Amino acid sequence: MALLQITEPGESTAPHEHRLAVGIDLGTTNSLVATVRSGQAVVLSDEMGRSLLPSVVRYGNDGHVDVGFEAQARQSLDPRNTIVSVKRFMGRGRRDIAHVESMPYDFVDAEGMVKLRTAQGVKSPVEVSADILGNLRVRAEASLGGALTGAVITVPAYFDDAQRQATKDAARLAGLNVLRLLNEPTAAAIAYGLDNGAEGIYAVYDLGGGTFDISILKLAKGIFQVLATGGDSALGGDDFDHRVFCWIIEAAKLSPVSPHDARLLQTRAREAKEYLTVHGEAPISARLASGEFVDVKLTSEIFTEITKTLVQKTLGPTRKALRDAGLSAEDVKGVVMVGGATRMPQVQKAVGEYFGREPLNNLDPDKVVALGAAIQANLLAGNRAAGDDWLLLDVIPLSLGIETMGGLTEKIIPRNSTIPVARAQDFTTFKDGQTAMALHVVQGERELVSDCRSLARFELRGIPPMVAGAARIRVTFQVDADGLLSATAREQTTGHEARIEVKPSYGLTDDEVAAMLKDGFSHATDDAFRRALREAQVEAQRLIEAVQSALKDDAHLLSILERAHVDACIAKLQAVMMGDDRRAIDAAMDALNKGTGEFAARRMNQSVQRALSGKKIEELES
Amino acid sequence: MDFNQDYFALFGLPRRQALDELALEGHYRDIQARVHPDKHAHLADVDRRLAMQWASRVNEAYLVLKSPLKRAEYLLRLLGHDPQIEHNTAMPPDFLMRQMELREAVAEARQGGDADALDHMHRQMAKEMKAQHEALAATLDQRNDHARGAELVRQLMFQEKLLHEIDNALETIEA
């Protein structure tokens, strides 16, 4: 379908200015990259025509890093250095990880997040994920023929702040400009909804390799509104494999197996699971390094039986999400199935029975998330075409709060709040003359702090001494559109302030990311420099275009003096942007940003007034 | 952004407890469609920051106006009447009695794992709250009785807490 494209004011009109943007589904088992090309969302394949990239990274003894199929092919030969399902470790400590004992890795328990000791040194899950993302970035840039403006990275809706932050860090480490972190079920809903012109209440049941999400959405008049979400960030197809693996050990009466044999049997278990999707029984055979020979048959009855509790475990969050949305199963018009694990017949059956309707399977469950992310990325990059005026309203999955006396949690932002969201609450001192306050930010639904996830600790010092209970400390939480939290505390009488971007305890600071990036490019320092410079130049060009376009539409909002100042800032940036002084470019961009702050505020006010006056965008701008 | 503008004015709605839900919904969507960060992601930092602040405020305003309890509390404060949610716990005896009975029934159903009973209570509670919402609108909009309105707000808060408890019990049973 060749539609003529009409851009909105504020966006570039020249066709060659189409910005390269991608959506990346960073999955537990497989990852994909997609883009919008000539108005169509498409998955980008590698040079061999394969769209899926196994989320497997091998750190070889020879210093070589294999990603994807190459790593997967060697996983049972080199289990310790071949990292699979790294997503399960993102933002997680050792004690958070299930089946840790049957994993072949050499874990290093770092604060906040585990690390893995490999032939190439200790790697954090963030670095491993960055290697996967970097591979997809290279694939996309080769396929699209240029540097990417940015990427939308998907995360499980039920990911907490630490897991989201870890994902964003990984993307930055891979040299990607993150346009947005997008919830996987929401991405699927976009792809499904836009494709089918769906309206009404929809549920997205997303059972991936390692995570389960359920989201309830209302689709109406171009708005995708997530009403509630729930899930389990440690439940997925991997767990079904594990049940089969345990069953094989029992059925074949095996003694404890070596890491090598364990990996082999896990692979056999996964193959058997996939085979049972279309067959009644699966033969499983393997010769182990121990000399033992495994030869057993798994029937679909036994498979259903041994995984029954796993399937049941998905229905609890489903009920909860429906109740949070104030709805019941009958209200749901369609259930969109996402994630490779939803191919299992027993999952299809259980979901169908719960909702009383056949689940929707007309999308490729492996690709739909990446496609939805690509559509969102295209929009966020500013490649808006006619008919692209839809909007997404998402929520945070877990409540955010502060620890109060006695180790209790005071919730500040409840789960399923629409983001972005800002909320403030006042606290006070406990002792006479107290001059400092330790604030502990937590996420979760439980009353006791010890049952919630600790996100960050920070201190407000310099409170003037007062009697207990007299000080007014206002704690403000701001959650952005990525679902990431920043917190501030401010003493109300003095205005004394402490501010923190909530970095999970393992904390990658901007400097650390920069240092890691530099390490990664240590053999190609010039490349790194040129890349950074080019990014700054592209960014500067974007900024100038954005401001000029705003001036074209709304110059009347500025006085002559103000206009002159903005023009001067633009001229200054134009003067330095083609040089190679990165700092000068950054400084000039900063100045232009500051110089247009008030202008931006007035434009936003004007826009809201127009929304209220009931006029449609087209009427105003024609 | 004009932080002095109240939530009713923000959505161009009259300052009343009775609410045209469709108008609220429509205006919320229209404004959000303009201020949401996704509409400004390709713009300068300052635009993106402003978009986040605007969208956060619009979300908060929508949440407050959509909930009859939060709306009434907000409206009373706007009208200069503190509903004294935290301090004033005086309730009519029959209301308190009924709340206590219900609370016991919830505890009993929770212990007995009786999801059906809880489900029934959820529906019953929702019905009672709906009646309370209507009474609240009549009291505030037609009779301008702020003191009585504040009393109804405090009762409604009890009812919401109870509903929450019922839902929590259901969750516990289902887990």
- In single-letter form, the type of residue at position A463 comes to I
Average pLDDT over residues A459-474: 86
- CA atoms of A355 and B7, how far apart (whole Å): 38
Residue-level pLDDT at A609:
82
Q: pLDDT exceeding 90 applies to what percent of chain A?
A: 49
Q: Cα distance from B92 to chain A (closest Cα, Å)?
A: 30
Residue-level pLDDT at A256:
79
Q: How confident is the model at residue A617 (pLDDT cuts 50, 70, 90)?
A: very low
Q: Are A404 and A396 in contact (CB under 8 A)?
A: no
Q: How confident is the model at residue A535 (pLDDT cuts 50, 70, 90)?
A: confident
Superfamily of domain B7-66: DnaJ domain (1.10.287.110)
Crossing angle of helices B146-174 and A308-324, rounded to 10° = 170
Residue with the bigger pLDDT between A523 and A21: it is: A21
Residue with the bigger pLDDT between A612 and A149: it is: A149
Average pLDDT over residues A502-524: 53
CA nearest to A336, candidates A360, A320, A303: A360
Average pLDDT over residues A446-467: 85
| Per-residue pLDDT tens over the stretch B131-175 | 999 999 999 999 999 999 999 999 999 899 999 899 888 888 876
User: How high does pLDDT run on average in chain A?
Assistant: 86
Burial A202-221 (b: 16+ CB within 10 A, else e): bbbbbbbbbbbbbbbbbbee
- In single-letter form, the type of residue at position A470 comes to A
Which secondary structure element, helix H or strand E, spans residue A598, and what is its range? helix A597-612
Ranges of residues in chain B whose predicted pLDDT is under 50: none
Residue-level pLDDT at A512:
59
Burial A519-556 (b: 16+ CB within 10 A, else e): ebbeeeeeebeeebeebbbbbbebbbbbbebbbeebee
Say whether A305 is catalytic.
Answer: no
Q: Residue A130 corresponds to which tokens in the numbers above?
A: 């960055």
Average pLDDT over residues A23-45: 95
Of residues A421, A592, A607, nearest to B60 (C-beta): A421
Q: Residue B106 corresponds to which tokens in the numbers above?
A: 């919830």
Superfamily of domain B93-174: HscB, C-terminal domain (1.20.1280.20)
Q: For residue B168, give the chain A residue with the closest CA.
A: A320
Residue-level pLDDT at B58:
95
Q: Cα distance from A389 to chain B (closest Cα, Å)?
A: 8
Say whether A184 is catalytic.
Answer: yes
Average pLDDT over residues A110-123: 88
Q: Residue A591 corresponds to which tokens in the numbers above?
A: 């100045």
- Residue A428 scores a pLDDT above 50: yes
Question: Helices (DSSP H) in A153-284: which residue ranges?
Answer: 161-173, 184-196, 237-251, 259-275
Q: Using CB atoms within 10 A of its CB, is residue A296 exposed (0-12), middle (13-18) or buried (19+)?
A: middle
Are B63 and A389 within 8 A, CB to CB?
no
- Residue A386 scores a pLDDT above 50: yes
Q: Cα distance from B36 to chain A (closest Cα, Å)?
A: 8
* ipTM of the complex, rounded to two decimals: 0.88
Are A481 and B12 within 8 A, CB to CB?
no
Q: Would you give the distance in Å from CA A620 to the centre of its chain?
A: 36
Which secondary structure element, helix H or strand E, spans residue A411, and what is its range? strand A408-413
Average pLDDT over residues A600-608: 86
- CA atoms of A109 and A130, how far apart (whole Å): 20
- CA atoms of A581 and A586, how far apart (whole Å): 9
Say whether A87 is catalytic.
Answer: yes
How many helices (DSSP H) and strands (DSSP E) are in chain B?
7, 0
- Residue A403 scores a pLDDT above 80: yes
- CA atoms of A566 and B116, how far apart (whole Å): 65
Question: Strand, coil or helix: what is A127?
Answer: helix
Crossing angle of helices A525-554 and A510-520, rounded to 10° = 130
Residue-level pLDDT at A539:
82
Are B33 and A600 within 8 A, CB to CB?
no
CA nearest to A30, candidates A187, A287, A236, A307: A236
Residue-level pLDDT at A508:
53
| Per-residue pLDDT tens over the stretch A92-105 | 888 888 777 778 89
Residue-level pLDDT at B173:
81
Q: Are A290 and A261 in contact (CB under 8 A)?
A: yes
What residues of chain A lie within 8 A of the CB of B64, using their CB? none
Q: How confident is the model at residue A502 (pLDDT cuts 50, 70, 90)?
A: low
Residue-level pLDDT at A519:
56
Q: Are B73 and B79 in contact (CB under 8 A)?
A: no
Are A600 and B27 within 8 A, CB to CB?
no
CA nearest to A271, candidates A497, B17, A263, A608: A263
Residue with the bigger pLDDT between A619 and A235: it is: A235
| Per-residue pLDDT tens over the stretch A168-212 | 999 988 989 999 999 999 999 999 988 888 899 999 999 998 899
- In single-letter form, the type of residue at position A30 comes to N
CA–CA distances in Å: residue A318 to residues A228, A327, A331, B164 = 10, 11, 13, 18
Q: Are A239 and A259 in contact (CB under 8 A)?
A: no
Are B38 and A380 within 8 A, CB to CB?
yes
Top residue of B1, B5, B36, B38 to mutate, by most chain A CBs within 10 Å, is B38
Q: Would you give the distance in Å from CA A213 to the centre of its chain?
A: 13
Say whether A552 is catalytic.
Answer: no
Average pLDDT over residues A613-621: 46
Q: Are A459 and A439 in contact (CB under 8 A)?
A: yes
Q: How confident is the model at residue A448 (pLDDT cuts 50, 70, 90)?
A: confident
| Per-residue pLDDT tens over the stretch A297-338 | 999 999 999 999 999 999 999 999 998 998 989 999 999 999
Residue-level pLDDT at A77:
85
Q: How confident is the model at residue A415 (pLDDT cuts 50, 70, 90)?
A: very high
Residue-level pLDDT at A518:
55
Residue with the bigger pLDDT between A451 and A200: it is: A200
pTM score: 0.85
Q: How confident is the model at residue A501 (pLDDT cuts 50, 70, 90)?
A: low
Q: Are A209 and A30 in contact (CB under 8 A)?
A: yes
Are B60 and A423 within 8 A, CB to CB?
yes
Residue with the bigger pLDDT between A76 and A136: it is: A136
Residue-level pLDDT at A125:
94
Average pLDDT over residues A359-365: 89
Residue with the bigger pLDDT between A601 and A509: it is: A601
Of residues A19, A382, A611, nearest to B31 (C-beta): A611
What residues of chain B lie within 8 A of the CB of A604, using their CB? 1, 34-35, 47, 50-51, 54
Domain locations along chain B: 7-66, 93-174
Residue-level pLDDT at B8:
95
CA nearest to A493, candidates A472, A521, A477, A515: A472
Residue-level pLDDT at A522:
46
* Domain pair B7-66 / B93-174, same fold: no
What residues of chain A lie within 8 A of the CB of B31, using their CB? 608, 611-612
CA nearest to A436, candidates A348, A393, A477, A496: A496
